[in-house]
Copies of this chain bind each other. A is one copy, B any other.
Amino acid sequence: MKILAIDPGYDRLGIAVLNHEKSLGLLYSECFIPEKGDFEARLLKIVKKIRDIIGTHTPSILGIETLFFTNNQKTALRVAETRGAIISEATQSGLAIHEFTPLEIKIAVTGYGRSDKKSVRAMVPRLVDCKKTIQFDDEYDAIATGITCAASLRTRQLRAAPPKV
């Protein structure tokens, strides 16, 4: 099962594709920076990028970080609009959508809900088979979301299993 994981943004977008078999492998990751321009032109580039990656890697699940309000409300709304366009694109391609809060991601990756970004990024390469060098923060964040998505699927599978008699 392949997971498309995204750290959403309209000026920088973290994208990762993880292979979730016995172990968890990183198939692809990048920090996508759309050309500067109108918001709708950036949105179009982001949606096309997502469509291309879905076409190439055929993931069945989208894991995406939920948004919390920041000081800059205008930015928060634009990020929410970008999330909506991505969720719509992924749903149209038949992916199941799973959303994770920053707290859930921190707990899944470091075991502690108040860990800082540095600790999350230190743990990422230990939790996923990764042959490439991860360069950007947004890439780390996308992979961390993918790790959380994989862990959550394991938990749900365990929960869904019939009780031992």
Contact = CB atoms under 8 A, between A and B. Distances in A.
Contact of A40 (B40, B76, B91): B91
Contact of A87 (B43, B73, B89): B43
Residue of A43, A85, A97 with highest tally of chain B CB at under 10 A: A85
Residue of A38, A73, A76, A87 with highest tally of chain B CB at under 10 A: A87
A11 interface: no
A123 interface: no
Q: Is chain A's interface secondary structure helix, strand, loop, or mixed overall?
A: helix
Nearest to A46: B88
Nearest to A10: B84
When all copies of this chain in the complex are counted, the total is: 2
Nearest to A79: B80
A101 to B, nearest CB: 12
Residue of A43, A67, A77 with highest tally of chain B CB at under 10 A: A77
A102 B129 CA distance: 50
A76 B67 CA distance: 11
Interface of A: 38-41, 43-44, 47, 67, 69, 73, 76-77, 80-85, 87-89, 91-92, 97
